[in-house]
Structure formats: structure tokens, C-alpha cells
Amino acid sequence: MNSKLNVDNIFYYQTVDSTNLTALKHFEEGAPSFSVIVAEEQKQGRGRLGRSWFSPRHNGLWFSLLLRPDNLSPENASPITLVTAAVLAAYFNEKINLPVKIKWPNDLLLGEKKVGGILTEMKAEQDRIIYLIIGIGINVNQQNEDFPNELRCKATSLAGESGIRFRCENLLPALLDELIKAYKLFLNQGFAPFKQRWEIYNVTLGRDISIIVTGVASEESIKGTALGITSGGALRLRDHRGVEQIIHSGEIK
């Protein structure tokens, strides 16, 4: 799959548990920043909030990027998920004419269904990020019957919505090119250069939503209108009392 990849450090696997976990092993062994870990198949693909991520052979792109930022504070790191979503959505819309949308914070949708997701994991000291691992899963060529029963009504693929079969070996280098350029810009200039692109492709802002926010010991559901996104990538929500809340992480139902 790696014939056209223009990346210095790519680790390519047929099968792994999870490319994020494999990226962590490479981090521990000293792999440099901007290393890419790609797998044909994940046996224990991981989603957000402890969920699993269906990652069969041949039909999708499952990969992770490892960053070792020189000088990034933990509070400035979180928009990287939104940067990733903005870059991917822009690529699919502008380069291959597929109307992929972003649902805050990390879902990529085609129509009402999820076509991709982003799992960002990090290790930080108090004022410095040690690593960021950005894991990206994109359903490329699955047909509806290829998904397990429980996913059929909520997952789709690029091919499932467009009727076009894509070549993963062409898509991956194009996406990596865009992402690596974007991460370099993000490390210099933060979220600002990406905010407008994120806003163009999101389906969250302006809607009345219900969001589950998980605390240390409890879960809270907050209802309100999604007003906007902060420069740090948090969601601005006007709740039923008219009070604006800033939500740093959560799941929109």
C-alpha cells in the first residue's frame, strides 16, 4: 500500500491490535515526530470513550500519526482533533466532491451516518505535551452488509454513499500530505488558520443539541443551542437558562 507515500517514517503493518497502540510502542522506541503507522487491519481498533472501532482488512484506512511537539502546552493541544477533522472534510469536499461533514468533536459524517472518526491520545507534563497520537479511521469501501448488524444504521463508507470504489493506496498519501502540512501550521499558529474551514464543514453549530458530558464520577446531559467554537476548539453552548457554557469534551446525542 505504501508505494506513493512521501513520508520519512512510515511503519506499515498487515495486522495490528490498534495503530494508536502501535504508535505508542514506536514512541517508546524513539520514533521521530511525524511518524505514521498504517495497518491493513486492526484486531482491536479503538474508538472514543472506550468503544471499539470496526477495522476490517481491505475496506478502510486505519492509521495514526505520532507528533512530538517541541513547545506545545496541554491546553493548546486539544484543537488538533478539530484541525484533523477540518482537513479531512475539506479534502473530501474539495478534492473528490464528497459532502463529508464534521460533527463536533471528532465524527466525520456522510449524510446522517458516520464515515470516519478521530481518536487523539496524548501524554503531557504540566506545561508541555510529550506526544500526541492522532488516530484516524475512514470507512472506504464497505457496503452496508459488510458492517456488523449494530452498525448498519449508523455507519457508512465513502463507497457506500457515492457508489464509487476508492483505492486506499491513492487516498492515503494524499491525506497524509494534507495532514502533515496542517500539523506543521498548527504547531506554529494554533487553531486560528483552521477555524473557518471547520465552521464551513460542521453540522453542529446553530443546532439544538443534547450533549453528554462525562465527569470524574458522573455523567451529565446538557441541552442547548450550539453557538460556536472557541479558539481552543471547545463548544460554546447556550443552555435552557440562556447561560453560555463552554464544553471541552462530550458526546452529542
Q: Decide if residue 105 touches ligand BTN (CB under 6 A).
A: no
Q: Decide if residue 62 touches ligand BTN (CB under 6 A).
A: yes
Which residue from 33, 59, 64, 142 is in contact with ligand BTN, where contact means CB under 6 A?
64
Nearest to 172 by CA among 162, 160, 161, 180: 180
Q: Decide if residue 80 touches ligand BTN (CB under 6 A).
A: no
Q: Decide if residue 135 touches ligand BTN (CB under 6 A).
A: yes
Which residue from 36, 45, 155, 235 is in contact with ligand BTN, where contact means CB under 6 A?
45
Q: Decide if residue 117 touches ligand BTN (CB under 6 A).
A: yes
Nearer to ligand BTN, 45 or 233 (CB): 45
Q: Decide if residue 151 touches ligand BTN (CB under 6 A).
A: no
Nearer to ligand BTN, 13 or 238 (CB): 13
Q: Decide if residue 137 touches ligand BTN (CB under 6 A).
A: yes
- SS3 for the chain is CCCCCCCCCEEEEEEECCHHHHHHHHHHCCCCCCEEEEEEEECCCECHHHCECCCCCCCEEEEEEEECCCCCCHHHHCCHHHHHHHHHHHHHHHHCCCCCEEECCCEEEECCEEEEEEEEEEEEECCEEEEEEEEEEEECCCCHHHCCHHHCCCECCHHHHHCCCCCHHHHHHHHHHHHHHHHHHHHHHCCHHHHHHHHHHECCCCCEEEEEEECCCCEEEEEEEEEEECCCCCEEEEECCCCEEEECCCEEC
Q: Decide if residue 47 touches ligand BTN (CB under 6 A).
A: yes
Closest approach of ligand BTN to the CB of residue 140, in Å: 12
Which residue from 43, 51, 154, 248 is in contact with ligand BTN, where contact means CB under 6 A?
51
Which residue from 10, 11, 18, 142 is in contact with ligand BTN, where contact means CB under 6 A?
18
Nearer to ligand BTN, 37 or 77 (CB): 37
Beta bridge partners of 238: 225, 244
Nearer to ligand BTN, 48 or 236 (CB): 48
Nearer to ligand BTN, 115 or 234 (CB): 115
The closest residue (CB) to ligand BTN is: 117
Q: Tell me, what amino acid is at 135? A: G
Q: Decide if residue 224 touches ligand BTN (CB under 6 A).
A: no
Q: Give contact residues for ligand BTN (rule: CB under 6 A).
A: 18-20, 42, 45-48, 51, 53, 55, 62-64, 106-107, 117-119, 135-137
